[in-house]
Structures are given as structure tokens and as C-alpha cells.
Structure 1
């Protein structure tokens, strides 16, 4: 049940710093085969269940142009996206706005080691880490047949998102900005 979900502590993340350009690297080991994880990363129907965006087409084809729209945003936030690499079921790359995402899926026994590289503005790196942490938990539960529903945007606040933000901010040595319209992030 969704009400019983509480994310674990911050972990499995690092930041690669190149001046003002920071890249969040998250690693998660999933007990699901690469093909199932690939489908969840590329199929719009599956992405609607766990990802922080909706997409109007399949992300699994290099050269495809689709539109990503931020889920649960207070106003429409849509960006045109080009899939720059889609090597099924190992590597997926595309942009989200002016930020790049690279997904690597590595076989790990019967499961998959999923690694995400996402360049994020330095001031929001802890937000990104906490958000993706929760998204990965939701993805794992979805693939296990125990879906809890997407928890992004303001909905993530119900799931200890602020605790995760604070933990990642401390780990990365940054101060997280305040979440708009709340006293979260003080």
C-alpha cells in the first residue's frame, strides 16, 4: 500500500563536478531482468507509472523526437526531446530540456544494475537525487508487481522527500533551495 512506503536513507548517489556543470550519478540494483527495466525506461505506458515526466512516444529508438512533460507541474512544462542513443537493452540517452540523461543497464545475475547520469543545476542537485531516489523505489515496486503509484512533484512530499533532500544535500555539501509554496527546505 502506498501509505506504507517510506524511502530508505540517501545512498547510491554521487556528484561529478566540472566547474558549474554538475552531474548526478545514481546506481540502483534491481531484481528484474534488463529487458523489463528497458521497457519501463522507454515505454510511455510504463513511464506514466513511475517517472517524473510523461512522454508522447517511445524512447527506445535512436533519432526519435518526442515531447517530455513534467508530471504534476503547476503549469505545463514541455520540452522537445531527441533520443541520441538507444542500444537495447544496455544504453539509453536523451535530453530533457537542456539537461542530458544517460541510462546504463548492466546484467547482475538475474537482475539489473541501473545507472543514471543526469546533469542538474548545482543548486538543485539534492532535489534531483531525492526525486530520482523515490522514482527508482516506485519503479522497483512497479516491476515487482506491487505498484504504489507515481510520487513526483508535490506528491513526493508525502514520502519523506524532504528528509532525503537534506541527507543528499549534506552528502554533496550543498544547501537545497526552499520548495515553492511550503516551508520545506528551511
Structure 2
């Protein structure tokens, strides 16, 4: 499993800005066939992290997945990154207590496991070459979640806004780590 964490040399006594937090977030990531596996240490208790991945109001503060219902039970759900967006399926496929959840996200399937201070994701991808995009996006989002659970007022960073916060450099780095060709950035021809 590879790890993304460049050093910035920022003293511990200062709260890092979000770009520094994104750059410094320790993310262990690997590809296993069509599966992107990410492990991230983030601030928060298991209960706080469970709420962060299941409650639409909390998801709307940090995640691109904003469902139309709480994701704590198996059944249909729809998700929109932004209220005006067309919905994508977010059907809950499985849950295990208050620590594991599997749901669809459009053509992908996202499995979450949370524990005190840790989030593990397994994303089944429709095309494994998309891993660089998914990894970079979730890396940014999880840094926002970490900032919020560390007591900082940090707005959600999703979609094209992530480009202003190091998303493209992360995408290139993940592509190289996964041994994939670097794909086009948003707005570039494939």
C-alpha cells in the first residue's frame, strides 16, 4: 500500500490551512483489481465518523455524496453533489452496526468502515483507470472532514473547486503510484 504525505515542515503549534492539511494528510492507497482501497487517519470518534458518512446534513458539509435520506439502512437512495445536479443512485447495499456501510455512487460502489480516528474506503470502480480521479477527490474531501473534526471551520471542497486546492497534483501522483497513465485533467481532451 502506498502513502501520500509530502512534508511541509509546518510547526505543530499552528493550525494548517486547508491546502497544507490536504498535502499533509496521510493516505494509504492501493489498487486491487478493480478496487481502490484507501485508509486514512482522521480526527473524530467512531460515532462522529459514522454520522459523517450516513447523515445527509453532515455529508453536505464535506462529501460529494449528499443523499436524499440517512444511509443507515439497506434500501434505495439518490445522491446529488449539489442541489441542482441530476441525481445518481446511492442505494445502501449493506450495513454492519454503526461502523460499516456499503452503497452505490452512480456506477461505483463505496464501502466504508469507521473506527476511532480512522476511515477505510473500498471503492469498486467501473474502470480502474479512474482510480487517480477518485483517490484525489476523496483525499481532498477527507482532509476537509479531518479539519472539521479538529475544530476548524472549513467549507466543503468538491467538484471543480478541488482544482484550487491541489487536486490535480494529487491526481498525477496517484496515477504514478498506481502505475497508470496520467489521465487528462478536467476540461482537457482525452
User: What are structure 1's unaligned runs of at least 5 residues?
Assistant: none
Higher strand share: 1
Match for residue 104 of structure 1 among 101, 113, 116: 113
TM, length-normalised to structure 2: 0.81
Equivalence for 2:101: 92
Equivalence for 2:90: 81
Shift of 1:124: 1.4
Q: C-alpha distance in 1, partners of 2:149/2:97?
A: 18
Q: C-alpha distance in 2, partners of 1:15/1:178?
A: 20
Shift of 1:176: 3.0
- Aligned pair 1:163/2:169, yes or no? yes
Shift of 1:182: 5.2
Say which SS state the counterpart of residue 118 (structure 2) adopts. strand
In the TM superposition, what are the counterparts of 1:101-140 in structure 2 within 5 Å?
101-106=110-115, 111-120=116-125, 121-140=127-146
Cα RMSD of the aligned pairs, angstroms, is: 2.3
Q: C-alpha distance in 2, partners of 1:90/1:13?
A: 20
- Aligned pair 1:8/2:23, yes or no? yes
Shift of 1:158: 0.5
Shift of 1:88: 3.1
- Aligned pair 1:143/2:149, yes or no? yes
